[in-house]
Amino acid sequence: MIRNEVTKKLHLSTWPYDDATVSISGNKIGAPKKQKSSSTVNVYAKGSSNISISVSNDDMLMFLSIEDDENQNEQSRGSLEYDFYRDSCPQGEKIIRDTVRQLYKTGPELAPALLRLVFHDCFIEGCDGSVLLDPAEGVDAEKESPPNETLKGFDIIDLIKSEVEEVCPGVVSCSDVLVLAAREAVILAGGPFYPLYTGRRDSNTSYRDIATYELPSPHADLSETLASFASRGFNERETVTLLGAHSVGVVHCQFFENRLYNFGGTNEPDPSLNPKLLDEMRSRCKRSHTPTSSAPLCCFDGSPSSSALAPTFDGSPSPTSSATKAVLPTFEDSSSSLSEVPGMDMAYEGPGSDFGTPYYHSLLQGKGILFADQQLTAGEETGIWVRAYASDTLLFRRDFALAMMKLSNLQVLTAPMGQVRRSCSKVA
C-alpha cells in the first residue's frame, strides 16, 4: 500500500476531532517519542500491512499497532473499512460525535449506558444492532431477556440515528451508530480514543434466548467469566482489560447484595470484601430479601465520577433538529431518576487516570464491588494483568483501545448480508 492509498483509506476520521491533526509518513515504524501537551496524531505506514497510531494529549501517550494483513482482515473485520461513509454520508460520524457530546452535557450517565449497550450487542451474535430491536412478530427481542432488563440508552441511539437520517437517509447503519457513539462515550468518560472500521449492516432479527443464557454474570467465578469471554475470542488479558469499563457508572444493589448479607448461602458477608468497603456498601444497600439479579456484568448505568479525565469540546456545534429538542427534556428526566436508585458509584479512588487504573488498584485492596471483578485477582494470569494495569495507566489505555476495537469487530454483517434500518428499533 503506497502512501497516498494509506492517506485516502484513513482519511481524517481516524482522529475525527477539529483540534487534532493527522500526519502520514511511509516506512517509519517504532514507539513514538513522548511529547508535551498536544493534540497530534501521527499515523505511520509500513509496507502493505502495518499501521501504527500514537496519541499525545496532556502528556498521556498511547501507542497502537494494528496488523492489517489480509488474513486478519477477513477474520476480524470482514469488509469493513476506515471512513466507510466518506462519499455516501461524509458528515455522518461528525453528527454522531456532536450529538453524543451535547447529550453528555445534559447527562454524563450516557457514557456507561452506551458502553454497556455496545457490549450487550456485540457479545450476542456480534455487533449487528440486534439488541436495539423492539419485540415484534418473528422477533424475540434481546432487550426483553432478563439480563437486558436494566439496559439504558435506546433513546439515545434512536436520537442519534434520527439526526443522521435527516442528512443521509437510509445510509448509516444502527450498528455503526452504536459502536461510534460508544467510542465517543469512552472518550468523554476519560478513556482512550481508538480507531474504528465502519460499514456494518444491521441484523434482521434478535436473539433473546442467547442473551438470556450467554451474557456474563456479575456472580460468576473466575473460570466462568474466562470461559464466557473465551467463547467470544477474548483471552485472559483482554478479559481483564474489558472489565476496566467498570471504572465508570453506578452498579445497583441487586447485583452485589448477596456479597453483603448471604454470600454462598452462609448468611455471612463475602470474606474477601474489604471491611471498610463492606460497611459502606451495607449503609447504601439494605437487605431486601429479593432474588439476586442475574443481569450481566459489563458496564453500568449512572453518572461517572465528576473527576474523570473527560475532555472539553469548546465550540462544538450542538444538534438543533426537532428530534434533538424533543428528546432532551425526556433524557434529563431519565438521567435524574437514575440517581435515585440505590447503588454504588464505580468511581474508584487511587492513582492515575480515573478511567481504569484506580479500578485495578482497588481490586488489589479487596475493594471490588462485584464478585466477578474481585475474582480477577484470584487467577495467576489475570492477577498479573490486574497488577500491571494498576501500576501502568498507559499500558491499560493502549490495551483497552485494542480490546474495544476487537469487540467492535465481532461477527459483523457486511453487504450484501443484513440491512440498514431507518429506525433502529424496527426491521426494515
Q: Would you say 221 is a known binding-site residue?
A: no
Tens of pLDDT, residues 38-76: 333 333 332 333 334 444 343 334 444 444 433 444 455
Map 336-402 to HEC letters: HHHCCCCEEECCCCCCCCCCCHHHHHHHHCCCCCCHHHHHHHCCHHHHHHHHHHHHCHHHHHHHHHH
214 or 306, greater pLDDT: 214
Measured CA to CA, the distance from residue 169 to residue 166 in angstroms comes to 6
pLDDT higher than threshold 90 for residue 392: yes
Tens of pLDDT, residues 311-333: 333 333 344 455 555 555 444 44
Average pLDDT over residues 292-310: 41
Domain assignments of the chain as residue spans, ordered by start: 82-210
pLDDT higher than threshold 90 for residue 408: yes
pLDDT higher than threshold 50 for residue 271: yes
Percent residues over pLDDT 90 in the chain:
53
Measured CA to CA, the distance from residue 9 to residue 7 in angstroms comes to 6
Residue 124: predicted pLDDT: 97
- Beta-bridge mates of residue 201: 413
Average pLDDT over residues 88-102: 97
CA separation, residue 376 to residues 123, 305, 363 (Å): 20, 23, 8
pLDDT higher than threshold 70 for residue 363: yes
Q: Side by side, which strands form the sheet with 40-46?
A: 21-26, 40-46, 50-57, 60-67
pLDDT higher than threshold 90 for residue 5: no
Residue 343: predicted pLDDT: 75
By the 8 A CB rule, do 57 and 39 touch? yes
Q: Would you say 147 is a known binding-site residue?
A: no
Task: Find the radius of gyration of the CA atoms of the chain.
Answer: 21
User: Rounded mean pLDDT of the chain?
Assistant: 77
Q: Three-class SS of residue 51?
A: strand
DSSP state of 229: H
Q: Would you say 392 is a known binding-site residue?
A: no
Residue 340: predicted pLDDT: 54
pLDDT higher than threshold 70 for residue 427: yes
Residue 416: predicted pLDDT: 94
Topology, domain 82-210: Peroxidase; domain 1 (1.10.520)
Residue 353: predicted pLDDT: 60
Q: Would you say 128 is a known binding-site residue?
A: yes
pLDDT higher than threshold 70 for residue 291: no
Tens of pLDDT, residues 238-266: 999 999 999 888 888 888 898 999 998 89
Of 26, 74, 86, 79, nearest to 52 (Cα)?
Answer: 26
pLDDT class of 106 with cuts at 50, 70, 90 = confident
By the 8 A CB rule, do 96 and 110 touch? no
Percent residues over pLDDT 70 in the chain:
67
By the 8 A CB rule, do 118 and 178 touch? yes
pLDDT higher than threshold 80 for residue 379: yes
Residue 351: predicted pLDDT: 55
Average pLDDT over residues 387-413: 95
Cis before 416? omega within 30: yes
Q: Strand 21-26 vs strand 40-46: parallel, antiparallel, or unpaired?
A: parallel
pLDDT higher than threshold 80 for residue 348: no
For residue 25, what is the enclosing H or E element? Answer: strand 21-26
Residue 272: predicted pLDDT: 87
Total Cβ atoms within 10 A of residue 138: 9
Set of cell numbers at residue 426: 424496527
pLDDT class of 284 with cuts at 50, 70, 90 = confident
Average pLDDT over residues 393-406: 95
25 or 414, greater pLDDT: 414
Please tell me the least confidently modeled range out of 13-22, 37-46, 179-188, 355-364: 37-46
Please tell me the least confidently modeled range out of 38-52, 219-233, 409-423: 38-52
Residue 81: predicted pLDDT: 93
By the 8 A CB rule, do 54 and 33 touch? no
Residue 218: predicted pLDDT: 83
**Does the annotation count 120 as an active-site position?**
yes
Average pLDDT over residues 92-112: 93
pLDDT class of 92 with cuts at 50, 70, 90 = very high
Tens of pLDDT, residues 122-181: 999 999 999 999 999 888 999 999 999 989 999 999 999 999 999 999 999 999 999 999
Residue 306: predicted pLDDT: 34
Average pLDDT over residues 112-121: 96
Please tell me the least confidently modeled range out of 318-322, 357-361, 387-391: 318-322
Residues 6+ apart with CB under 8 A from 162: 321, 323
Active-site position among 11, 120, 252, 361: 120
